[in-house]
Structure 1
């Protein structure tokens, strides 16, 4: 795989850091998560990783971390600014400071924070919704007339944070192959979200295109009746996305053919392909579609539009999507064959990585012999989380 042979040290953290590490692991990197002794974990983004537990408050533990990072290709730092510096593990130690040689000048030192590292919010705590709010993207999202709705914690945490950080790491690895030098990769979720939202933000700023008007009046933000979600008779939903005229033509023809002959909610008004671009008719079209979708269950509508260019498909539940043979697996491609033969919801016991589960194996691979492991264990560096078969002399 593309990243086979790349060693990654990932300090345990929340959503974006683990996601970046998982992306690297999925593509062949050897990712080791650093946990604290006696800690517990609910991180489900640990596919393909191993865990070691080290007490960084002990000098011998800090020294061990220094050695591990010195022999790694990538470090993922998910902490607020200054945490690793206070441990004496800042980037200058490994990459050098311009006057003193670093311990590992090929290291990609990747850091993920929420707010930009400079500016008035840099020392504040926050979460996805706060970073999304400052990015400008939240103000553009659909919702009610009173306020926009946030899309879980997908945009800032995972797209603007984890995905952008992983992209930065990959670019830094490419540059390292050319120059032989590592670098610091700084990712913050506000800036990352603004970057992935370039299309809507640019259209909004210049007042043109599909998102140039006020929120809720445009093609893609709930303003157009032919790009939205409709409730069906059984409470299920259908997604409609027929933006182009040729797709709307297919959609409205199939829709009109599949409501009852006496369906006349607007007293004689009935849409046709020419209705799409008549903004004065959008309110009536939205009501016509809303009431029409309510006349049949979701799966009936799904059959009506299946195999057509109407750009209309059912909204699947997570369980349905996992079982759908044509859906993209939510798991690593190597597990695709298993996912297709066993569509049960994964057991959390098999997903969550126990902190320290691979301490001995990983440290042995990094070159620590049994005598040193024994000394470190006696000093309490591993706590009581050391897992695996212990040498007889321990």
Structure 2
């Protein structure tokens, strides 16, 4: 089984989370992904705890199914190797600050002269233009500037530092994949590639789907706990008697009626979306333990679900039925449990080949495929061009 993207070859210069998550999706769907890594400047994700048998679990996951070629891009011989690779690759994915690849001689204009069909994707915090294009940032900064943090939080404590990197993944990674696949479709008709400028701040700004629409069209400014879906109504999380939490999303009248009836308080449904209903529900939830509430709502279709830990989520029958955990080969005959690709294709996806590998694990193999002799590869290693 080769996967729907088996025809695509990707040169991945990215590090950390946004680019690697994007190329992970591509690799899971069958694309051939070759990471170009520095032999001297380590991807910090490689040392991020926790570690499994000496390897960062995050790195092992985000870089599964990818090969690694270690090149010192400051050396001319390394740049020649990249230019040779580009002849046979469809996509370049990079995550440097604007201008870095151009200074190396590996910018879009230079590489498309070698391969006009090349699709070149740049993921940055703020994009290739604008006064912030050279400014450093992280997920929390992009969400702050995009307005998302201004209404994601509590009135008494302010914005929340989210546990999931929304700007990196939903902003950078997923938009990059959507954009590059759109460019692949366009290339099927035009025969030429193109450049894709992905800003994590831009994409985070677009995630203001409903609140942004309301502000731009009607001037309604969202703020903490002033909207139906951000804590300004009964749509919220509720503490249980034993300090656990339940989620309530019973917005539609039928669900709201079932929610209130489950507590033996059908009259509460008449309060609608009011905060008065929220106060009444807080009392009802705090009367009962987490286990009691789980049992109470197990057979009630009211959009009420428990807030699970990751260890609980892994064992939940719905997630288990969807096979969201995969056993991925380490290379020594054993396997590592990882998050599986969540996409379900009727023709299936290829089995995971291996976890993320050591820097330069495939250097000799890739260079041999380019036609370099064993002697020449040894010379490049001696000169520290290849790691």
Among residues 117, 135, 141, which one is paired with 2:146 in the alignment?
Answer: 135
Q: Please name the residue that 1:379 is paired with.
A: 383
Residue 297 of structure 2 is aligned to residue 289 of structure 1: no
Among residues 81, 89, 92, which one is paired with 1:72 in the alignment?
Answer: 89
Q: Please name the residue that 2:226 is paired with.
A: 217
Q: Give the superposition deviation at 1:38.
A: 4.2
Residue 252 of structure 2 is aligned to residue 235 of structure 1: no
The structure number with the bigger radius of gyration is 1
Conserved 8 A contact 1:271-1:285: no
Residue 270 of structure 2 is aligned to residue 274 of structure 1: yes
Give the length in aligned residue pairs: 348
Q: Please name the residue that 1:57 is paired with.
A: 74
**Superposition pairs for residues 1-394 of structure 1, below 5 Å?**
1-40=3-42, 41-42=46-47, 43=59, 44-95=61-112, 102-207=113-218, 214-225=223-234, 227-256=235-264, 271-277=267-273, 279=274, 282=275, 284-327=276-319, 328-330=322-324, 351-383=355-387
- SS of 2:163's partner is coil
**Residue by residue, what CA displacement relative to the aligned partner does 1:5-28 show, whole Å, maximum 9, x if unpaired?**
211010141211111111111110
Cα distance in 2, alignment partners of residues 248 and 292 from structure 1: 14
- SS of 1:235's partner is coil
- SS of 1:118's partner is coil
- SS of 2:158's partner is coil
- SS of 2:121's partner is strand
Q: Give the superposition deviation at 1:287.
A: 2.5
- SS of 1:23's partner is helix
- SS of 1:72's partner is coil
Conserved 8 A contact 2:108-2:120: yes
- SS of 1:224's partner is coil
Q: Give the superposition deviation at 1:241.
A: 0.2
Q: Give the superposition deviation at 1:345.
A: 7.4
**Residue by residue, what CA displacement relative to the aligned partner does 1:179-215 show, whole Å, maximum 9, x if unpaired?**
110111110011111223222210233349xx86543
Task: Flag the 1:345–1:166 CA change in 2: closer, same or farther, 3 A.
Answer: closer
- SS of 2:159's partner is coil
Task: Flag the 1:286–1:84 CA change in 2: closer, same or farther, 3 A.
Answer: same
Cα distance in 2, alignment partners of residues 76 and 343 from structure 1: 27
Cα distance in 1, alignment partners of residues 207 and 370 from structure 2: 37
Alignment TM-score, normalising by the size of structure 1: 0.82
- SS of 2:198's partner is strand
Alignment TM-score, normalising by the size of structure 2: 0.83
Conserved 8 A contact 1:137-1:201: no
**Residue by residue, what CA displacement relative to the aligned partner does 1:123-179 show, whole Å, maximum 9, x if unpaired?**
111111111111122212132345222423522111111110111110011111111
Give me the CA root mean square deviation: 2.4
Gaps of 5+ in 1: 96-101, 258-269, 336-341, 384-394
Conserved 8 A contact 2:227-2:233: yes
Cα distance in 1, alignment partners of residues 262 and 381 from structure 2: 70
Conserved 8 A contact 1:164-1:187: yes
